[in-house]
Structure 1
Amino acid sequence: VTQLTAAGAAGAAAAAGKHVVLLTPGPYNETYFEHTFLARYLGITLVEGKDLTVRNEVVYLKTLAGLERVDVILRRLDDAYCDPVELRQDSTLGVPGLLQAMRAGNVLVSNAPGSGFMETPAIHGFLPGIARELLGEPLLLPSVPSWWCGEASARAQALAQFSEAFLMPTYPRGLAQPWEGPRLGMELGLQRLADWRERIEQVPDLFTIQADLPLSHAPRWEGPHIGSRAAMLRVFAIADGRGGWQVMPGGFTRLAGEGQPGVSMQLGGSSVDTWVLSSQPAQPAPVPATPMLGAAHPGRAAKPLAVSSRAAENLFWAGRYAERAENNVRLCRLVLGSIESSDERDDSVLDVIGELVVACGLLPTGAPQPRASLRVFERSLVAALAESAGWTSVGQNLASHVLAATEIRNRLSNDHWRMILAARNDFGDAMAAACTGASGSGDCGYYDRPRVLAALDHLGMQLAAISGAQGDRMMRDEAWRLLFIGRHIERVSTLSTFLEVFTRHGALLHRSGFDLLLHLFDSTLTFRALYPGRTDVPALVEQVVIEPTNPRGLYGVLARLRVKLGQLTPPASPAGTGRTPLPQWLPAVEALPGWDALCRRDESGQYTNLVQACDQLSSLVGQLSDEISARYFSHAGMAGVRVRP
């Protein structure tokens, strides 16, 4: 099967300097691989419906730089889902207002809504006549023999010629059918036409009859042996900008699903590599004299593709989820590794443990507290680690991280992506093996404590590897800065919470609480080297708050966060709105309480300044996160636009 894609019009527009995007249903669509391949090959932006917005009958792409006008949309989305305002109201894949922007002539949609009729099987019966009428020549490749039953003579011919054939629906699958039973389609196999004659005569236009066309087969490894599946080759041609068409090298070979007579990606089909064999040694591919679409011209810097707000938002949350999981794993390891069945531990430390696991989402509000029963508390905590626990457990953080990473898969190296998947899958398998009868109700039944701790230890190493991949294997563009910012916002929030809860409960005055906080800040080795034998709060504050070189020192994290905020390009905004620069949402380190103030006790012996500073930072980074979402992701209040040159 040869497909001439509408990428030709899109390619010509890209060559003319227009902003071209390819609209895809998203990564869960069965042909998403083809969408990403075409977008990369053509050098255009791959977008989903939520990446686009219509303002004043003009389509814009939401990017970190603001709203950028879109001139051409190469549509790979079904007609009915394109615009929830005028078509399917339940569609979450389309762009509200898209049809009105098209009517106004402000955007060209290649594969315009309505062109889907070309995919009806009924059109195959008319292709020979269309070719003779429009081209004055027969088809180079014959069409599959088809008869549209809405044409009386064609219907009579097909029913007289065949006793069995494929009975295909003429119209899209979403339309209602005037009979009970299974929907039509090639997946049902050959049908006895005599059994359908009465229904065909009642509503003939709904039916198309296709002859059985035996397909070529390709080998496929199926477990212990090599099997065979029906195969179809799909190739593409694009306009070359000079009035001609060029067939793209290679193509997609699709294999039928198991037990399917026809090839359909929606019915379990798959893609395989396509090799072109030659009787001669392969020659080196010549370098094209003209640049590919989207490529830089000689002497001109390459234009980076726009970073969509959706990609930036998922990078931002990928950073937050990874940091959150890492902090929660460290907390769980310390809690489970230190609490005992006896009541020998200080009550203040038990209160801290109970409050922290709730504050970090490891247990819901109202869960059993360690003071009442350490055993019940521990069982509840272990039961809540699983992804199915029902709240923001470690498993849920890992699952959310996978979802965010799925949306930015094209920005991650293979190793990075595999580590993210492995962290979720390995932890789920390890917890299932270590714990039986677990539920979100607070009862874990039986669990193997050493195996639970081993699972947390292994997950901690995997999360450390993911952190290294984020810092060492990604382009340092503005989207990466959002990932860095997301991770550091989460770090400031979590570390502030840790320090505030420990200080407020007076747990730092006890050796067990002091050591626990050092572990949570991952600063034990450094502190013991710098302050051997000391367990005083001033030394602790110096190391985990003031010291700028500590990667988990609170003020140092804040300073690095403000630097990255200042490096983000402000999005275009209406004149006179006076948006506060992002770094100003956080105080400079110089404006925060210094070491003397943080270590000062009030009349009741409490470190009030330290508690207030932690509360302030935790609140401010929460407000900052909301502002970043409004400014860069949803573009709330962004009436003005920035047109990309």
Structure 2
Amino acid sequence: MAKPVNTLFNNYFKDFKNYDEVLKSNMTTNSNWDKLLSNVTEVGEDTLVEKQKDIDWLLAENGVTYNVYNDPIGLNRPWNLNIIPFVINQEEWHTLEEGLKQRAELLNLVLKDIYGKRELIKNGIVPPEIIYAHRGFLRNCDQIKYKTAKQLLIHSADLARGPDGRMWVVNDRAEAPSGMGYTLENRFSTSRVLPELFKGINVKQPFNFFKDFNRLLINSDPNKKENPNIVILTPGPHNETYFEHAYLSSFLGYPLVKGNDLVVRDDKVWIKTLKSLIQVDVIYRRVDDAFVDPLELRGDSYLGVAGLLDVVRQQNVSIINPVGSGVLENPGLIPFMNSISKYFLNEDLKLPQIASWWCGQKKELDFVLGNLKRFVVKPIDRTNRQSIYFCEFLSDEELEELKKRILAKPYRFVAQEKIYFSTAPNFSKGRLEPRKVMCRTFSVAKDEGYSVMPGGLVRVAPEGENSRVSYQRGGTSKDFWVTDDNAIEKNNTQRYNWSHSTTSLRTSIDNLPSNTAENLFWSGRYLSRTLVTARYIRMVLNQMANSEFSKRDSDSETLCILFQSVTHLTSIFPGFTGKNKEKALENPMKELTTVLFDENSVGSLAHSISAFNNSYYTLRNLWSKDIWVVFDAMQKSWNKFDEKHKNNIHKITKLLDNIITKLIAFMGLIEESILVEQGLLLYFIGLQIEQATLTIEKSRALLVINQEENVEYDILESLLNSHESLNIYRYSFKSYLNIENVINLVLLDKSYARSLKYQLFRMKKDIFRLPTKNNDTEYTKSQQAILDACNLIETVNAKTLSQLNSDHISRTNLDDFLASISDLLHKTFMVITDTYFNHSDQQKQLVKQNYLS
């Protein structure tokens, strides 16, 4: 039976220092929350606990992450969403919406003025130091003209409710605002896991906002094409909000690209595809201002496109938001915003702001220094991640040091009142607790005004008394509800569809971005390497376990050969070879542990898994949810393996069984997730090249040297086991194991999918489907290399390859053949890389600029 809601509020408050969104000091509730609290009561505490677990599971299954640099949890920290939403009613929201539209329009005029006439400075409205000392001011953007109706196309504002019950503007975000994707995921997750919370409540949906956003991208094309080519520019998978970049790419249907996917030619920006260059019309960027053009801005940037800014000047591409927008993320502007509003709009600000004092003025400086303990002190920009000083927590020595910094460059600092954020209920440990919250809102340019998302992203402090509301510091999030009591929307799940958007970049393999193609190619290689290595080491471990049981004389020699083959397969030398051989054989598990778990050893299983993970995250916008489920399960299995079991053959074998099963499932799902025209072809080529290469390495290590009969039998059986071919061999040959038949099956059987011959001919088929740069009838270099390999394998037979030399020690025919195929495979790989993955050379600045001081 559901517990009444008041039991969930037991011991909710220790005191009433802050404004609470739900409970008043007399323990009555805010009427805006009544329907939600009624639904929460009906659901009950026990169900809420289970549903919170379901949300956590769903976000993990969907791969929703927020990367935190140097996070001990790891690179891909799971996104946290609390099950209790944040609620604002329509009446209050209307006031906020009007204020946000005004603020976006005002900042749009400020941005145009800063890089245009600079009337604010000339007329003494804003001191010049606030603009020119801000690292977000980029002189390179001066006087650039735009064809868009507005210059500020996306605006984000951080709001917090003060102790007076009003929402105040705390920060403006304009450079590359984040959060829209997370907001959408929060809504999808909440409505899927606990639709009961929505019963009888009209929650405004953001579909019209995203339609306006999509329309903004299309209308921003400077050439006004019917279907412009639009891309989303990301810094890459290590960026803190990379999940959102990939999420929006999938949601909106626009390619996700990195800087080296794009190139400037003839005053235009082009995306490098497998076949040719295709002009890009609009770039929705998630790369910070200073990094977008290494030719004119930061010369050490690998995230941007050399020459991009000049293409903007030529009005041949639109960037959203324009480069240089970061100057608006400036708390130094806040004390002057009302004066700016009166100057441009002839009206006062509609939304209150956090009280701020710019230290570049003597009166304000003296006031700040005389009352420093009560303020929060910030630099006017955050581009070098300088500290924010909560002065009430500083010691006397630290306060003196801060005073010296302020006095040295007073124009660089702003003092602000400490905000006593309002609190809202967070469901934790089976009860509701008050947590401080901050709301991030989003506005996009639309016709003559701005469209504001109903709701936004709510960030929650990690602990009840924590004054820092930041996801970087371990906070969580909430679904943001704007409710309207007037009527229930008939369709709360309207479809997100775009009546007008670009599709030209994804219509064929020819137009696949080269960087995406390269990552798909390497995903195939890393996946194959991981699977083959895991299977091979599992086979060796099983052989070790069997030898301990059987105690046959031949086991020791067999194991010695297998150990050496592990070194050759992984290329982790010296390993079980050379002068290190005897020492390694004294304790083989020590060396095998390195091969398995040392991520710093290139060729180890751990290194292969890590490399596969990196390529996987780079392409996350392509993967289906089922793939995410399998990938997440594999990650958990690998990461949770207990260190103390690293010498336990049985435990390691069980781990490898689990990993191998997940990898095979992953391989099957990839073919369902991506079309050949979307790049599956490149994945297959990478997969086959790696499989063929490792088949050659195993065969050279185990088949070239002649062994005594019992040992040879064990070696052949081990090879077939590692190749998952033993049962097929028995069914096909129904004979005692012999090397000629094994060579026939593993190397020369064109109908067997694991054989070298099959792999080569499959590669040939796929490589011949790759786009060519011209219409010549001659073979391309990659086609010729794989053709030569296929022709060579057609000319040999198992009998010749299995023949021993006159000394009866080795099989030179086999070794020479495998070496030749290996060389041709390497040539094929190199030609494919040079032809399709060769990104533009690094360009250097003519004049060095410093963005660090």
For the aligned pair, the TM-score class normalised by the smaller chain equals 0.7 to 0.9
Partner residue in 2 for 1:212: 418
Partner residue in 2 for 1:395: 606
Partner residue in 2 for 1:83: 293
Q: Does the residue aligned with 1:236 lie in a helix, a strand or coil?
A: strand
In the TM superposition, what is the alpha-carbon distance from 1:213 to its structure 2 partner?
Answer: 3.4
1:350-361 aligned at under 5 Å gives the runs 352-361=561-570
> Which stretch of structure 1 is more off in the superposition, 66-75 or 304-313?
304-313
CA distance in 1, matches of 2:777, 2:623: 36
- Seen in structure 2, the aligned counterparts of structure 1 residues 281 and 486 have a Cα distance that, compared at 3 Å, is same
Partner residue in 2 for 1:564: 766
CA distance in 1, matches of 2:335, 2:664: 60
In the TM superposition, what is the alpha-carbon distance from 1:454 to its structure 2 partner?
Answer: 2.1
- Seen in structure 2, the aligned counterparts of structure 1 residues 104 and 278 have a Cα distance that, compared at 3 Å, is closer
The answer to whether the 8 Å contact 2:543/2:559 transfers is: no
Partner residue in 2 for 1:415: 626
Partner residue in 2 for 1:404: 615
Q: Work out which structure has the larger RCO, using CA pairs closer than 8 Å and 6 or more positions apart in sequence.
A: 2
Q: CA RMSD in A?
A: 3.8
CA distance in 1, matches of 2:455, 2:275: 36
The answer to whether the 8 Å contact 2:560/2:585 transfers is: no
In the TM superposition, what is the alpha-carbon distance from 1:324 to its structure 2 partner?
Answer: 0.8
Q: Does the residue aligned with 1:385 lie in a helix, a strand or coil?
A: helix
2:153 matches 1:6 = yes
Partner residue in 2 for 1:247: 452
Partner residue in 1 for 2:529: 324
Partner residue in 2 for 1:113: 323
> Which stretch of structure 1 is more off in the superposition, 412-421 or 348-357?
348-357
Amino acid at match of 1:219: P
CA distance in 1, matches of 2:404, 2:413: 12
In the TM superposition, what is the alpha-carbon distance from 1:350 to its structure 2 partner?
Answer: 5.2
CA distance in 2, matches of 1:511, 1:585: 35
Partner residue in 2 for 1:379: 590
Q: Does the residue aligned with 1:420 lie in a helix, a strand or coil?
A: helix
The answer to whether the 8 Å contact 1:164/1:190 transfers is: no
The answer to whether the 8 Å contact 1:508/1:514 transfers is: no
In the TM superposition, what is the alpha-carbon distance from 1:411 to its structure 2 partner?
Answer: 1.6
1:373-522 aligned at under 5 Å gives the runs 374-388=585-599, 390-430=601-641, 432-435=643-646, 447-507=647-707, 510-522=712-724
> Which stretch of structure 1 is more off in the superposition, 20-29 or 164-173?
20-29
Amino acid at match of 2:517: A
CA distance in 2, matches of 1:301, 1:83: 23
Q: Does the residue aligned with 2:483 lie in a helix, a strand or coil?
A: coil
In the TM superposition, what is the alpha-carbon distance from 1:489 to its structure 2 partner?
Answer: 0.7
2:817 matches 1:613 = yes
CA distance in 1, matches of 2:738, 2:497: 70
2:566 matches 1:364 = no
CA distance in 1, matches of 2:362, 2:327: 20
Q: Given the two structures, how large is their TM-score scaled by the length of structure 2?
A: 0.64
The answer to whether the 8 Å contact 2:706/2:804 transfers is: no
Amino acid at match of 2:153: A
1:191-270 aligned at under 5 Å gives the runs 200-222=406-428, 226-240=432-446, 242-258=447-463, 260-270=466-476
- Seen in structure 2, the aligned counterparts of structure 1 residues 187 and 102 have a Cα distance that, compared at 3 Å, is farther
Partner residue in 2 for 1:129: 339
In the TM superposition, what is the alpha-carbon distance from 1:59 to its structure 2 partner?
Answer: 2.9
Amino acid at match of 2:307: G
Q: Does the residue aligned with 2:608 lie in a helix, a strand or coil?
A: helix
1:61 to 271, 275, 278: 271
The answer to whether the 8 Å contact 1:548/1:555 transfers is: yes
The answer to whether the 8 Å contact 1:58/1:101 transfers is: yes
Residue deviations 1:56-99 (CA, integer Å, cap 9, x gap): 55433233343333333333322333333443344333333333
> Which stretch of structure 1 is more off in the superposition, 600-609 or 319-328?
600-609
1:115-194 aligned at under 5 Å gives the runs 115-155=325-365, 164-174=374-384, 184-185=387-388
CA distance in 1, matches of 2:777, 2:748: 36
Residue deviations 1:160-185 (CA, integer Å, cap 9, x gap): 8986122121133529xxxxxxx542
- Seen in structure 2, the aligned counterparts of structure 1 residues 55 and 124 have a Cα distance that, compared at 3 Å, is same
Residue deviations 1:115-164 (CA, integer Å, cap 9, x gap): 21100111122222222222233223223222222234554676789861
Q: Does the residue aligned with 1:168 lie in a helix, a strand or coil?
A: strand
Q: Does the residue aligned with 1:235 lie in a helix, a strand or coil?
A: strand
In the TM superposition, what is the alpha-carbon distance from 1:30 to its structure 2 partner?
Answer: 3.2
In the TM superposition, what is the alpha-carbon distance from 1:24 to its structure 2 partner?
Answer: 2.9
2:515 matches 1:310 = yes
In the TM superposition, what is the alpha-carbon distance from 1:205 to its structure 2 partner?
Answer: 0.7
2:725 to 523, 531, 555: 523
- Seen in structure 2, the aligned counterparts of structure 1 residues 188 and 590 have a Cα distance that, compared at 3 Å, is same
In the TM superposition, what is the alpha-carbon distance from 1:317 to its structure 2 partner?
Answer: 1.5
Partner residue in 1 for 2:64: none
In the TM superposition, what is the alpha-carbon distance from 1:485 to its structure 2 partner?
Answer: 1.2
The answer to whether the 8 Å contact 2:228/2:502 transfers is: no
Partner residue in 2 for 1:178: none
Residue deviations 1:503-559 (CA, integer Å, cap 9, x gap): 311249621122122212211111111222332333323322333331202111211
Partner residue in 1 for 2:739: 537
Q: Does the residue aligned with 2:347 lie in a helix, a strand or coil?
A: coil
In the TM superposition, what is the alpha-carbon distance from 1:473 to its structure 2 partner?
Answer: 3.5
- Seen in structure 2, the aligned counterparts of structure 1 residues 551 and 508 have a Cα distance that, compared at 3 Å, is farther
Residue deviations 1:28-76 (CA, integer Å, cap 9, x gap): 3334444445545554333333333334554332333433333333333
Q: Does the residue aligned with 1:567 lie in a helix, a strand or coil?
A: coil
- Seen in structure 2, the aligned counterparts of structure 1 residues 425 and 620 have a Cα distance that, compared at 3 Å, is farther
Q: Does the residue aligned with 1:458 lie in a helix, a strand or coil?
A: helix
Amino acid at match of 1:54: V
CA distance in 1, matches of 2:410, 2:256: 40
CA distance in 1, matches of 2:670, 2:724: 19
In the TM superposition, what is the alpha-carbon distance from 1:612 to its structure 2 partner?
Answer: 2.9
CA distance in 2, matches of 1:302, 1:29: 25
Residue deviations 1:383-440 (CA, integer Å, cap 9, x gap): 43114463321111111111111111122223323433433442343351312xxxxx
Q: Does the residue aligned with 2:294 lie in a helix, a strand or coil?
A: coil
- Seen in structure 2, the aligned counterparts of structure 1 residues 508 and 515 have a Cα distance that, compared at 3 Å, is farther
1:586 to 786, 794, 811: 786
Q: Does the residue aligned with 1:586 lie in a helix, a strand or coil?
A: helix
> Which stretch of structure 1 is more off in the superposition, 60-69 or 588-597?
588-597
CA distance in 2, matches of 1:290, 1:373: 61
Amino acid at match of 1:239: A
1:333 to 538, 550, 567: 538
The answer to whether the 8 Å contact 1:75/1:111 transfers is: yes
CA distance in 2, matches of 1:459, 1:302: 33
CA distance in 2, matches of 1:184, 1:301: 43
In the TM superposition, what is the alpha-carbon distance from 1:265 to its structure 2 partner?
Answer: 4.3
- Seen in structure 2, the aligned counterparts of structure 1 residues 131 and 41 have a Cα distance that, compared at 3 Å, is farther
- Seen in structure 2, the aligned counterparts of structure 1 residues 288 and 520 have a Cα distance that, compared at 3 Å, is closer
2:553 to 344, 350, 355: 344
In the TM superposition, what is the alpha-carbon distance from 1:608 to its structure 2 partner?
Answer: 4.2
CA distance in 2, matches of 1:189, 1:378: 56
CA distance in 2, matches of 1:211, 1:143: 10
Amino acid at match of 1:430: F
- Seen in structure 2, the aligned counterparts of structure 1 residues 142 and 245 have a Cα distance that, compared at 3 Å, is same
CA distance in 2, matches of 1:213, 1:257: 17
- Seen in structure 2, the aligned counterparts of structure 1 residues 418 and 20 have a Cα distance that, compared at 3 Å, is same
CA distance in 2, matches of 1:536, 1:33: 52
In the TM superposition, what is the alpha-carbon distance from 1:269 to its structure 2 partner?
Answer: 4.5
The answer to whether the 8 Å contact 2:749/2:758 transfers is: yes
